[in-house]
Chains A and B, each alone.
Chain A
Amino acid sequence: MKQDGGVRIMDAEKISRALTRIAHEILEKNRTLDELALVGIRTRGVPIARRLAEAIRQIEGAEPPVGALDINLYRDDLSLTGRERPVLRRTEIPFAIEKKRIVLVDDVLFTGRTVRAALEGLGDLGRPRLIQLAVLVDRGHRELPIRADYVGKNVPTSLRESIEVRFGETDGEDAVFIRAAEPDPGETPVPGESR
């Protein structure tokens, strides 16, 4: 369960309904599964992408391929992080992205810097026909001109709050929490890091 007064803003059922709705929207906007592929941003964009693929399969009877993208080598805040490094994971995209319609998937859209890094990372792997963005939660506070094509839930937040997404696959339960960050005067959040 959640500690330090975190408020649960989505439970397993709400998450599931949001993803089913996004799956419908993806199909409506792209019309067909041809050349459609989902790419989850590690870590939690990956289980969301898999669930979206499954939701699409339930509607269409076939599912798009799913890949996983690690964006850490494309971050713009290397010098802000000292020698502390996020653990690098492999990018696993088991299909050619050339000419694909890619739906990039992440859990929380915040500053937009992670998405920018992901766009650059994808660009180094090929030239997709187009890239769309799907997120479970949009919490605002963009620092770059980026917006999502599909949003599970818009959550107005203050910069002092953080959003935590938990998934059965990685965290033992499906839920989204919002909580006030510990008062830490003088500490500004590292862009793209704290959510």
Chain B
Amino acid sequence: MKLHSRHLLGIETLKAEEITLILDTAESLAQISQREIKKVPTLRGRTVVNFFVEPSTRTRSSFEIAEKRLSADSLNFSPGSSSLVKGETLADTARNLEAMAPDFIVIRHSEPGAPHMLARICRSSIINAGDGAHEHPTQALLDAYTLRQRKGRLRGLRVAIVGDILHSRVVRSNIFLLNTMGAEVVLAGPPTLMPRGIESLGATVARSIDEAVEGVDAIMMLRVQQERMARGYFPSVREYFRLYGLTPARAALAKSDAIIMHPGPINRGVEIASEVADGPLSVILEQVTNGVAVRMAVLYLLAGEEEPQDPAVTPGLERAQA
């Protein structure tokens, strides 16, 4: 079994078998984190550069732990985002990183398509750890892992995703993944944060959060970026919570065993009530644990000798950039 590309740039280009391979592999790798010796020698001698141009503590830590548990050597490279905004500068930085001969570059960047650009100019395997509002493939994979673990399957599930759909790479990757795996996605959020034409990616848009969560198997809440409020996307935190916050009453509209998910970090009392976030159906911390296993699986499956370059690594990108 193998992945078709030596990069993980997005979910959009993955086939169902590849997603299943990653999730199955992650299931076996999850054991390592439960042992006393939480390390295997599999990627001994491989080097990973965690190139985080946009700040991220959680995703970077998760990748770092995944790398260490597989015995890879990892290096964190996080230049100030201001020094790296132009594509040219990014290319130069990437070439500099390449000169140190890493096997993997894990990149987080505010510009959609930054990982794809790296994939074109680098010999290393590129892993997208979030590119602007485009994709965040490992997040969608860990969400899928958590869903599959809790529900036993992905096919036929109905998942509500609520919040700032416009700026969310997590949503895009999740829509691609859930569609590919035969699950259904329903979205809700402030009209100002709901991109027009999002249905074309394969999701339905509900008029309210209540309508969205009705009878679903899982509710995925998105983090509200408070700086968006200043830009007038929504009037106030209180107003946001009143209209789109996940309260116990709203959570009760979903199936009785519906799980509550959130990519973190959560804003208590903004997009989610504490009672729900800490409640028995919340899997928010399991998602964090599962993230390590999923990232280990991606590293494991992408490692290996270089094969002929695969062309066309960027479908879907135009839309994110538009």
Contact = CB atoms under 8 A, between A and B. Distances in A.
Contact of B35 (A79, A81, A89, A124): A124
A83 B35 CA distance: 27
Nearest to B71: A73
A85 B25 contact: yes
Interface string B11-46: 000000000000011011101100111011111000
Contacts, number: 63
A126 B37 CA distance: 9
A138 interface: no
Interface string A77-100: 011111111111111000000000
Contacts of B43: 78
A82 B24 contact: no
Q: Is the interface of A mostly helix, strand, loop or mixed?
A: loop
B1 A78 contact: no
Contact of A83 (B2, B24, B25): B2
Contact of B42 (A74, A125, A126): A74
Interface residues of A, number: 22
A88 B24 contact: yes
A88 B304 contact: no
Give the interface size class of chain B.
20 to 34
B303 A89 contact: no
A120 interface: yes
A84 B304 CA distance: 8
A83 B307 contact: yes
Contact of A79 (B25, B302, B305): B305
A106 interface: no
A107 interface: no
B19 to A, nearest CB: 15
Interface string A41-79: 000000000000000000000000000001001110011
A70 B3 contact: no
A70 B35 CA distance: 15
Contacts of A70: 28
Given A86-B1, A90-B27, 9 more contacts: A73-B41, A73-B300, A74-B42, A78-B42, A83-B307, A84-B304, A85-B2, A85-B300, A125-B35
Interface of A: 70, 73-75, 78-91, 120, 124-126
Task: Give the 10 A-B CB pairs with smallest separation, nearest first.
Answer: A88-B28, A73-B40, A83-B304, A83-B2, A73-B42, A124-B37, A84-B2, A82-B304, A88-B25, A90-B28
20 contacts: A73-B40, A78-B42, A78-B303, A78-B304, A79-B304, A79-B305, A82-B307, A84-B2, A85-B2, A85-B301, A85-B304, A86-B1, A88-B24, A88-B25, A89-B28, A90-B31, A91-B31, A120-B41, A125-B37, A126-B36
